[in-house]
Chains A and B, each alone.
Chain A
Amino acid sequence: MKKKLDFKNFSIYFDQYLFIAITLLSVMGLFFLYSASQEDINTVAKQAIFVGFGLLLMFVVSQPDPDFYNTFSGLFLIFSLVLIFLTMIFGKEINGAKRWLDLGFFTLQSSEIIKISLPIFLSSYLYNKPLPISTRHTFITLILIGFIFALVARQPDLGTSLVVFMSGGYVLFLAGLSWRFIGSAIALFLLSLPFLWNNFLEPFQQQRVLTYLNPDADPYGTAWNITQSKIAIGSGGINGKGYQEGSQAHLDFLPETETDFIFAVIAEEFGFIGVCILLSVFFFILLRCLYLAFNARDRFCRLTIGGLSLVFASTLFINLAMVVGVVPVVGMPLPFISKGGSSLLSFYIAFGIIISMATHKKLMQR
């Protein structure tokens, strides 16, 4: 239930369902991270600061009226793009990828910001266009999406660039993109796959895809991560091995336990029951977003809530699918759980905006 609390002259905008669910996830995340980081209290403390700050940020971001976001969405997008360009120039290179901008106190992954600002901008651009969306607007939108996609993909960061692409695509689709166009786009995409494979994928990304397609070819080489992840999940069984008892995680068989593969740690230590409990919190958040989208005050809010919640769903899906070995390893965090400030903060901001969109009502409607 969305609420508007009156404190004499100003109001507080707040959705307790989302707030409780997200807080719960964040706390569970800290709890899981402690085990996944081999009981490293420093890592957990740092993450806890992000969680606390993030929750505050979410609350702050949910206070302004949607009109504020509508008005400044262009500015947000430009700001995000500037960050991306700065990353391209000053970025910190790790393992051949330039994705991080060192801000001294915080290392920012700029692509995490744009997957929020792009759907907001597109919502604001498309909300007042007549239906069905004209070819001209479709193309302008697609060019923008393609441009940003290419920027992020060049870092290179295939996973995030796909989410960025999808974030734009979701809004376009929700705003009423014609089915005929969708059909031809899918056909075109399939036809250009070989071209994309050869020209857009780095060799290590190609290797990941090949490994995914044939994981048994080289179980101790490139498929190591997936093999160990499956062993971790599978050996967890129904009840799990117990907190901090996961041998795959604690004996270093599992890679990236704190970030991409934290779900495998959870599955190993808490079993299928733990997985179901965790996923039900995620599903609750998604269903709450669906409800809020249906009850949003106008088209801009609807598109924004829809777009952002689908970005959240996509991130969640890609991470889980990667960890259980259904899609290639792409580097995608588990929202609110994985270590990493940028992703964490961007989702707090996203949900802050969702709450803002859902709780502010137009005066004329009351």
Chain B
Amino acid sequence: MIDLNERFIEKRSFFNRLLFIYFFFAVLFLFLLFKTYSLQVSSYSDYELAALKNKTKEVLVQPVRGVIYDRNGNILVNNVPTYDLIIQPSKIKNLDDFIINISKIIELSDAEIENINKNFKRRATYNRELTIKKDLSKEEIAKFEVRSYQFKNAFIDVRYSRENKYPYLFSHALGYVGGVSNDKVLSILKNQDLKQSETTFKYSGGFIAGKTGLENIYDSALRGSFGKKLFEVDARGRLLKELSFEKPINGKSLFTHLDLNSQKKAFEQMNNRRGAVVALELKSGSIVTYLSTPSFNVNGLSNGMSSVEFEKLINDVDKPFFDRAGQGRYSPASTIKPAIALFGIKEKIVDWNFTLKDPGFFVLPEDQRIYRGWKKGGHGTIDMKGAIIESSNTFFFSLAYKADINNLISHLSEFGFGRNVCKDCFNPDSGLLPTPEWKMNNLNFGWFKGDTVNLGVGQGYMSATPVQLAYYSAFLAKKGNLQELSFVESDSISNTAFINNLSIDNSDWDQIHSSMIGVIEDPRGTAKRLKPLKSYVVAAKSGTVELVSTETKEDYKLVRQNIGNRDHAIIVAFGPMPDPEYAVSVVIENGESGGSVAGPVAIAVLNELINK
């Protein structure tokens, strides 16, 4: 038995120790309370945000691309709906029964059933939709709709595909759309302050963007802005309910200056020959016809084509993918002569009264080398107007011989050669305006006088694209008042007159116009055969691009046995005179005669544009 004293000591010791531990716990609990306070009160906003981020998921909604129109309001590129059958796997209890039932209405292939079985479980778990059959026929849609009450967990939804209504006509001008790289997707979304996320696609092709042509150049305007749906999700990422929906803004329509009829006419006239046609409306400086042939079905590229078809196109010797209008390089040949004539006038090397005796060839004084004309025996005594009408090489050889090469180059540059002249062409080529520096750097040779002489007839190193030739044609027509070309009307085009660095009198421009009218109208004209094809006056200059240099006609007959060695036919034209509205350039590879082969195509296109 413990005595009273000891009992007292024991009691006090117990109380002290119990209080000690209680005090210790009091400190601990206060600390916890403080910790809870700091979570719930001090850091509340951080955690509130974290909880919100946890439970919400953003799903992007793809906008529909803008429609592309021609200048008369004809739809060129449209979004064509296809109807897909979609199910909600999370609401289907017995998949096998469902497949048996739906198969009674809509036939499913083995591949489609396999696809369903493969993806069903996952989609069900995450409460996502599953497309079970694409591109339903009208019959299938009707059959499903009348029985849709049986299938509360399935519905038909529209998906678009991008369709060019004239798949061969505008392949190069409008281009095609296709899938894009992840980096591109990220940058597109970043522009909209969005992060990459699950997306509800409107196109069966998913994330698409313009790859070539105007689809590419105006991609951001055509694309529109992504919308976003906010869903509540649980920890497993299942979509529970829609919280908000910011609708996508569909892409803007693109109203181009392209003209469906003239494009059709050009296509028909080219008849799959290799070449290009570019026509411009002069008042606005806009492109109304832009054709490169042979062409290809652009819809195949946008919406998928078989690899065999693709291989065939890629390996085609005629290179249908190649955009000859914007990227093909051709010597301007004799079509350059009006520009050279203006140079002669400007530099006071010649005037309109100057005459020259043309023996059919030009002898370079430095090395006695002979430069031949196309007509044996020459054109006799000839003035500059006659030299343009009859296309005398000798006249322009001798004119160029007297030219300062650097002045000549800067003169030709004003006409659009050697530079890009188009605001919204896809990957435009600048052609080549050769300079002494260029020759030294690329060919390791100095500039010969003979190179300048060759430039006088548009042969040699110089090359231009059909777009540049069309620009050149329009430049002549508008007497130098021409800005960069464009497919669409742009707000930025000001009405102020374009100021060029040429100082050419109006009377000289008129002389050039009348010379070029003579090319068709004059009995001596190289393109006189075109005269009966039209009911109005057209100014033109034809050209024939020599691919192989020959001394005599007999030699050429041998050379032309190989089709690839035949001359290219080329023409630039504008009309109706005296107040031209349209300018056109036509190139036909290995077409041999600018006047009689390229000419009719140019006139047919002008007829289509003017006679309406």
Report if A321 contacts B (CB, 8 A): yes
* B39 engages A324 (CB within 8 Å): yes
Smallest distance from the beta carbon of B343 to chain A beta carbons, Å?
A: 74
- The interface size bin for chain B is 35 or more
Known: A275-B40, A294-B15. A247 touches B9 (CB 8 A): no
Known: A173-B17, A251-B54, A252-B235. A271 touches B40 (CB 8 A): yes
Smallest distance from the beta carbon of A178 to chain B beta carbons, Å?
A: 11
Report if B2 contacts A (CB, 8 A): yes
Interface residues of B in 339-390 (CB under 8 A from A): none
In the complex, chain B residues whose CB is within 8 Å of the CB of A247: 51, 54-55, 232
With both beta carbons as reference points, the residue of chain B lying nearest to A236 in the complex is identified as B40
Report if A130 contacts B (CB, 8 A): yes
* A251 engages B13 (CB within 8 Å): no
Q: Mark A103-126, 1 if CB is under 8 A from B, else 0.
A: 000000000000000000000000
* A299 engages B10 (CB within 8 Å): yes
Known: A131-B9, A275-B36. A251 touches B18 (CB 8 A): no
* B25 engages A176 (CB within 8 Å): no
* A130 engages B40 (CB within 8 Å): no
Stretch in A18-26, A57-65, A134-142, A225-233 touching the partner: A225-233
In the complex, chain B residues whose CB is within 8 Å of the CB of A232: 51
Report if A162 contacts B (CB, 8 A): no
In the complex, chain A residues whose CB is within 8 Å of the CB of B18: 174, 290, 293-294, 306
* B32 engages A233 (CB within 8 Å): no
In the complex, chain A residues whose CB is within 8 Å of the CB of B55: 247-248, 251, 253
* B21 engages A235 (CB within 8 Å): no
Contact of A306 among B14, B25, B41 (CB under 8 A): B14
* B41 engages A237 (CB within 8 Å): yes
In the complex, chain B residues whose CB is within 8 Å of the CB of A290: 18-19, 22
Interface residues of B in 1-35 (CB under 8 A from A): 2, 6-7, 9-11, 13-15, 17-19, 21-22, 25, 28-29, 31-33, 35
* B50 engages A251 (CB within 8 Å): no
Contact of B10 among A176, A271, A324 (CB under 8 A): A176
Known: A130-B2, A131-B9, A253-B55. A234 touches B39 (CB 8 A): yes
Known: A170-B21, A302-B14. A234 touches B236 (CB 8 A): no
With both beta carbons as reference points, the residue of chain A lying nearest to B42 in the complex is identified as A234
In the complex, chain B residues whose CB is within 8 Å of the CB of A271: 40
In the complex, chain A residues whose CB is within 8 Å of the CB of B32: 317, 320-321, 324, 326
Known: A237-B41, A293-B18. A286 touches B25 (CB 8 A): yes
In the complex, chain B residues whose CB is within 8 Å of the CB of A267: 36, 39-40
Bound-state Cα–Cα, A294 to B18, Å:
9
Bound-state Cα–Cα, A276 to B40, Å:
12
* A253 engages B235 (CB within 8 Å): yes
Bound-state Cα–Cα, A166 to B53, Å:
41
In the complex, chain A residues whose CB is within 8 Å of the CB of B310: none
Q: Mark A319-344, 1 if CB is under 8 A from B, else 0.
A: 01100111000000000000000000
Q: Mark A253-266, 1 if CB is under 8 A from B, else 0.
A: 10000000000000
Known: A131-B9, A174-B17, A176-B13. A238 touches B40 (CB 8 A): yes
Q: Mark B41-64, 1 if CB is under 8 A from A, else 0.
A: 101101110111011000000000
Q: Number of A interface residues, CB 8 Å? A: 46
In the complex, chain B residues whose CB is within 8 Å of the CB of A276: 33
With both beta carbons as reference points, the residue of chain A lying nearest to B28 in the complex is identified as A317
* B235 engages A234 (CB within 8 Å): no
In the complex, chain B residues whose CB is within 8 Å of the CB of A42: none
* B41 engages A238 (CB within 8 Å): yes
With both beta carbons as reference points, the residue of chain B lying nearest to A306 in the complex is identified as B18
With both beta carbons as reference points, the residue of chain A lying nearest to B19 in the complex is identified as A290
Report if B240 contacts A (CB, 8 A): yes
* A234 engages B47 (CB within 8 Å): yes
In the complex, chain A residues whose CB is within 8 Å of the CB of B6: 130-131
Task: Give chain A's interface secondary structure class.
Answer: helix
Smallest distance from the beta carbon of A227 to chain B beta carbons, Å?
A: 8
- Number of residue pairs spanning A and B whose beta carbons lie under 8 angstroms apart: 127
* B44 engages A310 (CB within 8 Å): no
Contact of A272 among B40, B46, B232 (CB under 8 A): B40
Smallest distance from the beta carbon of A12 to chain B beta carbons, Å?
A: 28
Smallest distance from the beta carbon of A82 to chain B beta carbons, Å?
A: 31
* A234 engages B50 (CB within 8 Å): yes
Contact of A231 among B13, B36, B50 (CB under 8 A): B50
With both beta carbons as reference points, the residue of chain B lying nearest to A237 in the complex is identified as B44
Report if B151 contacts A (CB, 8 A): no
With both beta carbons as reference points, the residue of chain B lying nearest to A326 in the complex is identified as B35
In the complex, chain B residues whose CB is within 8 Å of the CB of A302: 11, 14
Smallest distance from the beta carbon of B28 to chain A beta carbons, Å?
A: 6
Report if B234 contacts A (CB, 8 A): yes
Interface residues of A in 238-252 (CB under 8 A from B): 238, 247-248, 251-252
Known: A128-B2, A253-B55, A317-B28. A233 touches B40 (CB 8 A): yes
With both beta carbons as reference points, the residue of chain A lying nearest to B56 in the complex is identified as A247
* A251 engages B21 (CB within 8 Å): no
Report if B233 contacts A (CB, 8 A): yes
Smallest distance from the beta carbon of A138 to chain B beta carbons, Å?
A: 15
Query: Most chain-A Cβ atoms within 10 A of its Cβ — which of B14, B46, B235?
Result: B14
Report if A213 contacts B (CB, 8 A): no
Report if A78 contacts B (CB, 8 A): no
Report if A283 contacts B (CB, 8 A): yes
In the complex, chain A residues whose CB is within 8 Å of the CB of B19: 290
Known: A231-B50, A317-B25, A317-B28. A251 touches B240 (CB 8 A): yes
Known: A173-B17, A247-B51, A247-B54. A234 touches B234 (CB 8 A): no
* A233 engages B51 (CB within 8 Å): no
Report if B37 contacts A (CB, 8 A): yes
* B36 engages A272 (CB within 8 Å): yes
Interface residues of B in 565-584 (CB under 8 A from A): none
Q: Mark A340-361, 1 if CB is under 8 A from B, else 0.
A: 0000000000000000000000
* A313 engages B14 (CB within 8 Å): no
Report if A281 contacts B (CB, 8 A): no
Bound-state Cα–Cα, A302 to B17, Å:
12
Smallest distance from the beta carbon of A273 to chain B beta carbons, Å?
A: 9
Contact of A251 among B11, B43, B48, B232 (CB under 8 A): B232
With both beta carbons as reference points, the residue of chain A lying nearest to B46 in the complex is identified as A234
Bound-state Cα–Cα, A236 to B55, Å:
14
Smallest distance from the beta carbon of A275 to chain B beta carbons, Å?
A: 5
In the complex, chain B residues whose CB is within 8 Å of the CB of A170: 21
Bound-state Cα–Cα, A279 to B51, Å:
24
Bound-state Cα–Cα, A174 to B20, Å:
10
In the complex, chain B residues whose CB is within 8 Å of the CB of A173: 17, 21
Smallest distance from the beta carbon of B132 to chain A beta carbons, Å?
A: 29
Smallest distance from the beta carbon of B10 to chain A beta carbons, Å?
A: 6
In the complex, chain B residues whose CB is within 8 Å of the CB of A237: 40-41, 44, 48
Bound-state Cα–Cα, A237 to B31, Å:
18
Known: A290-B22, A306-B14. A252 touches B36 (CB 8 A): no
Smallest distance from the beta carbon of B241 to chain A beta carbons, Å?
A: 11
Bound-state Cα–Cα, A276 to B28, Å:
15
Interface residues of B in 252-286 (CB under 8 A from A): none
Bound-state Cα–Cα, A275 to B35, Å:
12
Bound-state Cα–Cα, A82 to B36, Å:
41
Known: A237-B41, A247-B55, A317-B32. A230 touches B235 (CB 8 A): no
With both beta carbons as reference points, the residue of chain A lying nearest to B1 in the complex is identified as A128
Smallest distance from the beta carbon of A283 to chain B beta carbons, Å?
A: 7
In the complex, chain A residues whose CB is within 8 Å of the CB of B29: 279, 283, 317, 320
Q: 12 interchain pairs (CB within 8 A)? A: A131-B6, A176-B13, A233-B47, A234-B39, A234-B48, A275-B40, A283-B29, A286-B25, A299-B7, A320-B32, A326-B31, A326-B35
**What are the nearest 5 A-B pairs in CB distance?**
A234-B47, A235-B51, A252-B235, A251-B234, A234-B39
Q: Apart from A173-B17, A176-B13, A294-B18, what are 16 other A-B pairs with CB-CB below 8 Å?
A: A131-B10, A231-B47, A233-B36, A234-B43, A234-B48, A234-B50, A235-B51, A235-B52, A247-B55, A248-B54, A248-B55, A253-B235, A272-B41, A302-B11, A310-B25, A326-B32
